[in-house]
């Protein structure tokens, strides 16, 4: 099989952040994304929110999900083997706007920089998660509009990721020979790879950091957790699992039910956790598309424990458009 025929692009990006309200305010107001789901972490015993954000159409390939761990007091160590930047696609003409917008909100940023002939801005959220807006005029996806960010300037979806990697050789093998991606080239310490023909949601960069110690693989404030690739269904994931295991990467999980998609996970040679998530279920299975994000929802297998799960969660105030029922 050729995995590159199954992997459509990136499905979602997931990070562990600080406070839940702080995260909601930053992602919806500073990043200008649509809040599409309030639920909880399905793994482990602790009650932790799992918050989902996306573009206006809540499309696969535009989704950003966060686990707020501040209340639980769980922290970790930044280092190699982690996502350096979760990258988002915007129109290149909007980068001047983004520089002013980030400065207005006192968000430290790199200003407009260029890599692989592409302009971008890197910045961090309040918990230290690395983020970026990448100029790409080919992306026609529908951005969410806020009172501060117009649809023309808004985030259209995932552009790609930058991964910290102590050694390039084995991760290069994994991306090219196992997953079937192609290498575009190298710009300084950055190595760029394309899923299929590249473009929005189909770009991965490896940042070579040979002297940076390994970071935490756990949940914890300010730690990226994983990146997910989009596949069609469980059958494709089962075939991918067997294929990856055939190369000797035998720590691929069984298929997990994430309610809105089904997933398998595997640890890569760099240390970054990859997920393969199906695109055949979607976010409207438990609330209407025009009402996404309005209330805390639990998967059917958690409903009998609702009171127990909800009680420890911090109260949150969702964005005004959800409060008003719009």
Contact 207, 164 (CB under 8 A): yes
> What residue has token string 């991606």?
181
- Which residue intervals of 105-257 are DSSP H helices? 168-173, 234-246
Quick one: which of 170, 240, 245, 158 has its CA closest to 206? 170
CB count within 10 Å of CB 208 equals 17
- pTM to 2 decimal places: 0.97
Tokens describing residue 8: 């459509």
Distance of CA 255 to the CA centre of its chain: 19
* pLDDT value for 324: 54
Query: Which residue ranges form the domains of the chain, and what is each CATH number?
Result: 3-323 (3.10.180.10)
**pLDDT tens digits for range 67-97:** 999 999 999 999 999 999 999 999 999 999 9
DSSP-assigned letter for residue 256 = E
Question: What 3-state DSSP class applies to 118?
Answer: strand
| β-strand pairing of 256-257 with 262-267 | antiparallel
Distance CA 129, CA 223 (A): 7
What is the total residue count of the chain? Answer: 326
Sign of the dihedral defined by the CA atoms of residues 245, 200, 158, 194, in that order: positive
CB count within 10 Å of CB 110 equals 12
| β-strand pairing of 9-17 with 203-208 | unpaired
Distance CA 40, CA 42 (A): 6
Give one word for 259, left, alpha or beta, with left for phi > 0 and alpha for psi -120 to 50: left
Question: What 3-state DSSP class applies to 67?
Answer: strand
In which residue ranges of the chain is pLDDT below 70? 323-326
Q: Residue 199: CB partners within 8 Å, gap ≥ 6?
A: 136, 138, 139
């Amino acid at each position: 099989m050729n995995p590159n025929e199954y992997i459509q692009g990136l499905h979602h990006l997931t990070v562990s952040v600080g406070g839940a309200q702080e995260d909601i305010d930053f992602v919806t107001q500073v990043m200008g994304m649509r809040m599409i789901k309030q639920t909880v972490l399905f793994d482990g015993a602790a009650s932790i929110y799992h918050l989902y954000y996306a573009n206006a159409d809540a499309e696969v390939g535009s989704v950003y999900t966060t686990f707020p761990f501040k209340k639980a007091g769980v922290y970790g160590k930044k280092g190699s083997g982690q996502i350096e930047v979760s990258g988002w696609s915007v129109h290149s003409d909007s980068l001047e706007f983004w520089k002013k917008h980030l400065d207005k909100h006192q968000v430290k940023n790199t200003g407009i920089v260029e890599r692989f002939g592409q302009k971008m801005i890197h910045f961090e959220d309040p918990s230290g998660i690395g983020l970026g807006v990448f100029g790409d005029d080919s992306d026609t996806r529908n951005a969410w509009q806020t009172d501060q960010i117009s649809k023309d300037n808004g985030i259209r979806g995932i552009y790609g990721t930058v991964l910290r990697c102590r050694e390039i050789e084995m991760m290069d093998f994994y991306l090219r020979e196992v997953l079937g991606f192609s290498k575009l080239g190298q710009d300084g310490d950055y190595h760029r790879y394309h899923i299929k023909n590249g473009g929005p949601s189909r770009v991965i960069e490896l940042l070579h950091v040979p002297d940076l110690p390994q970071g935490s693989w756990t949940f914890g404030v300010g730690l990226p957790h994983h990146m997910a690739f989009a596949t069609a269904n469980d059958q494709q994931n089962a075939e991918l699992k067997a294929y990856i295991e055939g190369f000797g990467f035998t720590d691929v999980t069984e298929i997990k039910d994430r309610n809105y998609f089904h997933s398998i996970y595997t640890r890569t040679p760099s240390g970054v956790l990859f997920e393969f998530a199906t695109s055949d279920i979607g976010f409207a299975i438990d609330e209407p598309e025009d009402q996404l994000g309005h209330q805390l929802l639990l998967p059917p297998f958690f409903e009998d424990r609702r009171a127990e799960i909800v009680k420890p969660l911090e109260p949150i105030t969702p964005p005004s458009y959800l409060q008003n029922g719009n």
